[in-house]
Amino acid sequence: MKLAVVGATGLVGREILKVLDEHKIYPETFIPVASPKSAGLPLSFNHTSYLIHTHEQAIAAKPDIAIFSAGASTSREWAPRYAAAGITVIDNSSAWRMDPEIPLIVPEINASILTGNHKIIANPNCSTIQLVLVLAPLHKKYSIKRIVTSTYQSVTGTGAKAVRQLENERNGIPGEMAYPYPIHLNLFPHGGDFLDNGYTTEEMKLVNETHKILNDYSIRITATVVRVPVLGGHSEAVNLEFERDFVLDDIATLLSNTQGVILRDDPKNNIYPMPLDALGKDEVFVGRIRRDESMPNSLNLFIVADNLRKGAATNAVQIAEYLDSNKLAGVDISQFSR
pLDDT in tens, 291-324: 999 999 999 999 999 999 999 999 999 999 999 9
Confidence of residue 330 (pLDDT cuts 50, 70, 90): confident
Confidence of residue 338 (pLDDT cuts 50, 70, 90): very low
Strand 220-227: give its sheet, edge to edge: 220-227, 144-153, 234-242, 298-305, 284-291, 261-263
Q: CATH topology for 2-96+313-325?
A: Rossmann fold (3.40.50)
What is the pLDDT, as a whole number, of residue 25?
93
Q: Concatenated DSSP letters for 174-192?
A: ----SSSS--TT--BS--S
- Separation between Cα atoms, residue 313 and residue 16, nearest integer Å: 5
Return the CATH number of 127-307, one of 3.30.365.10, 3.30.413.10, 3.10.520.10, 3.30.360.10.
Answer: 3.30.360.10
Confidence of residue 232 (pLDDT cuts 50, 70, 90): confident
- Specify whether 55 is catalytic: no
The mean pLDDT of the chain is: 95
What is the pLDDT, as a whole number, of residue 337?
41
- Specify whether 118 is catalytic: no
Q: Concatenated DSSP letters for 251-276?
A: HHHHHHTSTTEEE--BGGGTB---HH
Burial group, residue 243, by CB count within 10 angstroms (0-12, 13-18, 19+): exposed
For the chain, the domains span 2-96+313-325, 127-307
Radius of gyration of the chain (CA): 20
What is the pLDDT, as a whole number, of residue 331?
54
Determine if the pTM surpasses 0.75. Answer: yes
Active-site option among 55, 118, 126, 139: 126
Is pLDDT of 334 > 70?
no
Whether 305 contacts 283, CB under 8 Å:
yes
Is pLDDT of 240 > 60?
yes
What is the pLDDT, as a whole number, of residue 205?
97
